[in-house]
Structure 1
Amino acid sequence: MTAAEIVSQVFLPLSLAIIMLGMGMTLVPSDFTRILKNPKSILIGLTNQLIFLPIIGFLLALAFNLNPVMAVGLMILATCPGGATSNLITQVCKGNIALSVTLTATASVLCVVTIPFILSYVLEYFGTDTNTTIELPIVDTILQILVITIIPISIGMLIRKFKSNFAIRMEKPMRIASTVIFILVFLAVVAANFNMIGPAMKEVGLATLLLNILTMGMGYLTARLFKLDLKSAISITVESGIQNGTLAFVIATSILNNVEMGIPTGAYSIWMFITGGILMWQLGKRPKANLAKAHPK
């Protein structure tokens, strides 16, 4: 097993599952029912992830006149909505964790339909049609959501219900642990993809940086335009700009059998950890009092 495989298949999933457990200890069922009763935030978040993100990616591929392989690689990334890393960043940024988890789970299921639809058109448009039928590993995708996100969060919520004092005491340590694991994951990603980083930044560095910044900006602006509270706006911002790089790599290398198409994901992974880290640094130090009005009774 290579270093990259150890990072993506063992270290990252295990670390995220532990963080999801801690995240669950900060949640109660009413956090989710409140969202479901007023689903506007979910609709805005999903629109950004599943519609605006691919459109922005497509326009950037045209604007930068990327070669067909890089253009398709950028679009693969743009069709893969945020994974569990976005939940981790949202927690440290003191965003709406329940909304972040709901968006991640919902988008991950819907992308089983949207990714083949969009990429089939993209492959034909950019002249790289390989006559490959794009079939995502549906069972693996659902299992990943369950094992890394749903089950750990559910266990954490049970702990919160039956051992509430312990759960409350663990909130700050788990936020610190989230930050530490985020840094370790970033270093692991850099180490595992070290040979790819130079060529990736040279070929699509600016395009992927703009994709990251524009999608985050779009997420925040749409959330505030529709008068969502600050915590929800933070969640949608993060969910819009933090993509599921692991899924993108699988599509490029395993389904389309083209390692070069994974280059934009390598570049984007660096940018999203940098911008995500900046958000965590700036928003994570905000006192809870500043966010109190963002939690409606």
Structure 2
Amino acid sequence: MLPFALAVIMLGLGLALTFADFARVMRVPRAVGTALACQLVLMPALCLALLALTGADTDTAVGMLLLAASPGGTLAAVYSHFARGDIGLNITLTAVNSLVAVVTLPLVMWGVTRHYVGHAHNIGLQPHGVVTLIVTVVLPVALGITLRRLRPGLAQTLRRAVRIVALIVLAVVTVGAILHNADQLGRSFGSILPLTAAFSVLNLVIGYWVPRLARVERPQAVASSMEIGIHNGALAVAIALSPRC
């Protein structure tokens, strides 16, 4: 059910995008490049350092690094709007990062599990795992963009329905996962909460100040902060629950 929920979410993202959103990368290369560098390189590295300092257990470490390496979520643009950020940049970053993640996430998780587990645990690295990412991320986004270009009226109607279906399915999956892992969550909640809270604050602060130091305008820095601080949790969970060998 989770891959279906993820595919629906990414279809909704695609219905909100146009090819111009990808072309915008060429108009604001510094803002996009800085944000992607933070998202893909800096934050996973800082997460690794934070985990080393706190001595987190293997399961916590792998889970946090998976989330750290995940692209920004679709809600980033909503929070960016409230904080007066560049919403167009958020849309561009979400689009580009979601596609780049098809390559970067399996590589990051291969290295992470090899380091923590002692061998490549193949989370998301197996051929069928990569195919799953393509089917649940790339194809729905491409379908959504194409529909919006060819049938804008239909795309607008579908966006509302897709949003509702995605929320319902994701809620069911999330509640099911929480109930299934209730005992483990109860045992580790006290140690995980401070760690995740600290990392979340780091995401938002670094996501804003690194672009500012790179002379990116404030609205774009706000967009970067929201994009880096709000991850695609559905994608992270889908990979975490994917079959392993």
Deviations 1:225-275 (A, max 9, x none): 53226545432332499872443466xx946xxxxxxxxxxxxxxxxxxxx
CA distance in 2, matches of 1:60, 1:105: 27
Q: Is the 8 A contact 1:82 1:242 kept in 2?
A: no
- Assess, with a 3 A threshold, how the Cα gap between structure 1 residues 165 and 242 changes in structure 2: closer, same or farther: closer
Aligned length: 230
Find the partner of 1:217 among 196, 205, 213.
Answer: 205
CA distance in 2, matches of 1:166, 1:76: 41
Q: Is the 8 A contact 2:18 2:145 kept in 1?
A: yes
Q: Is the 8 A contact 1:216 1:241 kept in 2?
A: no
- Assess, with a 3 A threshold, how the Cα gap between structure 1 residues 241 and 178 changes in structure 2: closer, same or farther: closer
Find the partner of 2:154 among 160, 166, 170.
Answer: 166
- Structure 1 residues 141-150 or 227-236, which shifts more? 227-236
Matched, 1:99 2:87: no
Any stretches of 5+ residues in structure 2 without a counterpart?
Answer: 82-86
Query: Within 5 A, what are the aligned runs for 1:47-58?
Result: 47-58=37-48
2:29 corresponds to: 39
CA distance in 1, matches of 2:45, 2:35: 15
The higher-RCO structure (CA 8 Å, 6+ apart) is: 2
Task: Report deviation, 1:201.
Answer: 0.8
1:89 corresponds to: 75
Q: Is the 8 A contact 1:50 1:114 kept in 2?
A: no
For normalisation by structure 2, the TM-score amounts to 0.73
Report sequence identity in percent.
20
Query: Within 5 A, what are the aligned runs for 1:282-297?
Result: none
1:110 corresponds to: 104
Any stretches of 5+ residues in structure 1 without a counterpart?
Answer: 1-10, 124-128, 256-297
Aligned CA RMSD, in angstroms, stands at 3.4
Query: Within 5 A, what are the aligned runs for 1:128-143?
Result: 130=118, 132-133=119-120, 135=122, 137-143=125-131
For normalisation by structure 1, the TM-score amounts to 0.62
Q: Is the 8 A contact 2:11 2:144 kept in 1?
A: yes
- Structure 1 residues 94-103 or 228-237, which shifts more? 228-237
Task: Report deviation, 1:79.
Answer: 3.5
Task: Report deviation, 1:14.
Answer: 0.6
Aligned amino acid, residue 235 of structure 1: E
- Assess, with a 3 A threshold, how the Cα gap between structure 1 residues 49 and 88 changes in structure 2: closer, same or farther: same
Task: Report deviation, 1:160.
Answer: 0.9
CA distance in 1, matches of 2:126, 2:29: 26
1:8 corresponds to: none
- Assess, with a 3 A threshold, how the Cα gap between structure 1 residues 185 and 224 changes in structure 2: closer, same or farther: farther
- Assess, with a 3 A threshold, how the Cα gap between structure 1 residues 158 and 242 changes in structure 2: closer, same or farther: closer
Q: Is the 8 A contact 1:116 1:135 kept in 2?
A: yes
Matched, 1:75 2:75: no
- Assess, with a 3 A threshold, how the Cα gap between structure 1 residues 18 and 55 changes in structure 2: closer, same or farther: closer
- Assess, with a 3 A threshold, how the Cα gap between structure 1 residues 138 and 42 changes in structure 2: closer, same or farther: farther
CA distance in 2, matches of 1:189, 1:92: 26
> 1:87 is paired with a residue of what secondary structure?
coil
CA distance in 1, matches of 2:46, 2:232: 11
Q: Is the 8 A contact 1:108 1:141 kept in 2?
A: no
